[in-house]
A and B are shown apart, each in its own frame.
Chain A
Amino acid sequence: SQTIHQWPATLVQPVGSPLSLECTVEGTSNPNLYWYRQAAGRGLQLLFYSVGIGQISSEVPQNLSASRPQDRQFILSSKKLLLSDSGFYLCAWSVLGNRNTEAFFGQGTRLTVV
């Protein structure tokens, strides 16, 4: 069966420090991968999605970047965190197909920038 791992679960980082959040998927090949951010009291905002290795699409201009060095690995990064980067970050995956179009989510990383 497919599983998705996202870590760390919580993170407190000072302003200006770098960030690296990692997400890996098991049990499927060539998944579509996503990073979402959920700010307090708001819905989920799609940050990045990837349809293959090295293929990253950015949805909104921001202080973050994403990379996909391997088929089932998706990394969210920042060189210098801002206070506004605080939020709940969710990684997700999906595959094409008539019956499997929903996204499956990791457990999330709560990032607090102080």
Chain B
Amino acid sequence: AQSVTQLDSQVPVFEEAPVELRCNYSSSVSVYLFWYVQYPNQGLQLLLKYLSGSTLVKGINGFEAEFNKSQTSFHLRKPSVHISDTAEYFCAVSDRGTGGFKTIFGAGTRLFVKA
């Protein structure tokens, strides 16, 4: 069975500093990987996704993530954060074999960007 572990529940960081949000997954089959962002009382918005090909994926708002198959990780990074990046971030995995019918989410990481 698939599972997703987001290692940090909260990450405080100062504005313009770099940030990394960690995500590890477990799956016995090939997977698709995603990062979503959720602003308060809103739905989720896709930041980026890894389906195949280059292991470094660039997304919206200056975020990027690197797929590491040997470490089963998909960490999210941004070189310089803004106050507006304060939100909750979810890592997700879906089973390529079933066409993505089940997307499993991590518990989320709350990013606080301080001035």
Contact = CB atoms under 8 A, between A and B. Distances in A.
Interface of A: 6, 32, 34, 36, 42-46, 49, 51, 59, 88, 90, 92, 94, 96, 98-99, 101-108, 110
A62 B43 CA distance: 23
Interface string B85-98: 00000101010000
Interface of B: 4, 6, 32, 34, 36, 41-46, 49, 51, 90, 92, 94, 99-108
- The secondary-structure label for the interface of chain A is strand
Contacts of B99: 96, 101
A107 B43 contact: yes
Given A101-B94, A105-B43, A34 B103 contact: yes
Contacts of A104: 46
A8 to B, nearest CB: 13
Contacts of A43: 4, 6, 90, 105-108
Contacts of A88: 41
Contacts of A59: 102
Given A46-B104, A51-B101, A96-B99, A108 B32 contact: no
Nearest to B44: A105
A99 B99 CA distance: 11
28 contacts: A42-B107, A42-B108, A43-B4, A43-B6, A43-B106, A43-B108, A44-B90, A44-B105, A45-B105, A46-B105, A49-B101, A49-B102, A90-B43, A90-B44, A92-B44, A96-B100, A101-B49, A101-B99, A102-B34, A102-B46, A102-B49, A103-B44, A103-B92, A103-B100, A105-B36, A107-B43, A108-B41, A108-B42
